[in-house]
Structures are given as C-alpha cells and as structure tokens.
A and B are shown apart, each in its own frame.
Chain A
Amino acid sequence: DVKVTQSSRYLVKRTGEKVFLECVQDMDHENMFWYRQDPGLGLRLIYFSYDVKMKEKGDIPEGYSVSREKKERFSLILESASTNQTSMYLCASSFVGWTGDTEAFFGQGTRLTVV
C-alpha cells in the first residue's frame, strides 16, 4: 500500500515562528503536492513538485516555500507564520504511468493553528 506520512497531526505555533511541515511517501512517486483546506474553499494548491529540486507555484504560494531535496520528502515551510495560515494542510503524491495518471494518495493532514 502507498503510504504518505505527514510528520504531525496537530501543531500549534506562535505568530512569526518559522514552521516546517514534513511529508514523506514510500512509493517512489515523482509528483508531490501541498494543499491547504479551509471550509467552503476546498483544497487549494500551494506548491507542487514533479521531481527532486523542482517546484512549481500553485494558486496560493504567498507566505510559503517548499523544499524537495530527496524524492520521497517534500517539505512545506511557513517563513513567518501568521494567523491566516491557520488551516488543515494536506500532502499528496502521485505518478504518471505509461498509461497516464494515477490517483493522488494523501497523508492524514496536519491541522496547524497559529496563535
């Protein structure tokens, strides 16, 4: 079974702190994604990566950065946490096989509260 693991289920941080959210997948997937999910807004793409050291901005990259130094790990960084970044963060991974897409597999989510 594909496993996508996020390092924390719940996190409380103070305004201005630098926050690291880690995501690890064990299926050698090329693509990895970070989303945030807020009520009524669905999953909004923050960043995605299609290969090691490659990253692309999603719809809401402001205030975030990412790092993909190894294929299995994709980190989301909040440079200076703010209260409007309080949200559920979901990591996902997928690959494109020779017949096309596969579905994305999700981690369990990290509920981040910034106080």
Chain B
Amino acid sequence: EDKVVQSPLSLVVHEGDTVTLNCSYEVTNFRSLLWYKQEKKAPTFLFMLTSSGIEKKSGRLSSILDKKELSSILNITATQTGDSAIYLCAVSNNNNDMRFGAGTRLTVKP
C-alpha cells in the first residue's frame, strides 16, 4: 500500500530560526513528489521534485529529493510569522493518483 509519512507532525519555532521538514514515502511507480503550503484555505503549490539530488529553491524555501532514501526535505531559513502553516507532502505515481502525508503544522512565534 502506498504511504507518505511526514515528520514532525508539529513544530514551534521563533522568528529567524531555520527549520527542516521531512517526508518519506513508499510508493509503487513513483513519478514525482510535491510540497504544498496550506494556511486557512486550499493548499498552494511550492515545489515539484522528480530527480534525485537537485535542489529546488524559492526565496527562503528549498527542497531536495533523495530517491535512494525515498525521502525529501523542505528547508525554511530565517523563518517569519507568515510561514506559519501546514506543510503537506504529496507523491504521485504512474497510475495518476496523488497521495498526501498528514502534514507538518509549523508555528513561528515572534
């Protein structure tokens, strides 16, 4: 059975801290791994990763995929209160479905 596991489930940090969120997966016919940020509404897309070892970066956020370890990390540097959200990891396969982990709830305190 396909599985996506995120850790930690919850994290509280202070502004300026750096955080690392983890996502591991067991998926048949893996195609891509996606990260989303969800505040009070629908998830918004952050990154899509298909190749191992290639870092994707957007401002203070970056992410990398390790296909050997079946995992990905999402890094956020110099965190701000606006980074407070649930971060969701999803994995798609060649059957076209897309499964999500439980999410990491990040709280950034001033």
Q: State the A residues within 8 Å of B (CB).
A: 30-31, 33, 35, 40-45, 48, 50, 56, 58-59, 90, 92, 94, 96, 100-109
Q: Assuming A33-B97, A103-B48, A109-B42, what are 17 further A-B pairs, CB within 8 angstroms?
A: A40-B9, A42-B6, A42-B101, A42-B102, A42-B103, A43-B88, A43-B90, A48-B98, A56-B96, A100-B31, A101-B50, A103-B34, A103-B45, A104-B34, A104-B45, A106-B43, A109-B41
Chain B contacts for A100, CB-based, 8 A: 31-32, 50
Q: Which residue of B lies closest to A106 (CB)?
A: B42
Chain A contacts for B109, CB-based, 8 A: none
Contact B100 A101 (CB under 8 A): no
Chain A contacts for B42, CB-based, 8 A: 90, 106-109
Rounded to whole Å, the gap between the CB of B19 and the closest CB of chain A is 18
Using known A-B contacts A42-B103, A104-B90, determine if residue A50 contacts B50 with beta carbons closer than 8 Å: no
Using known A-B contacts A101-B48, A103-B34, A103-B48, determine if residue A45 contacts B92 with beta carbons closer than 8 Å: no
Q: Which residue of B lies closest to A57 (CB)?
A: B97
Contact B100 A42 (CB under 8 A): yes
| Contact-size category for B | 20 to 34
**A108 to B41 Cα, complex, angstroms:** 6
Which of B9, B32, B34, B96 sits near A31, CB closer than 8 Å?
Answer: B96
Chain B contacts for A44, CB-based, 8 A: 100
Rounded to whole Å, the gap between the CB of B44 and the closest CB of chain A is 8
Residue of B44, B88, B100, B101 with most chain A CB atoms under a 10 A cut-off: B100
**A30 to B43 Cα, complex, angstroms:** 20
Residue of B44, B90, B97, B102 with most chain A CB atoms under a 10 A cut-off: B97
Q: Which residue of B lies closest to A96 (CB)?
A: B96
Chain A contacts for B41, CB-based, 8 A: 108-109
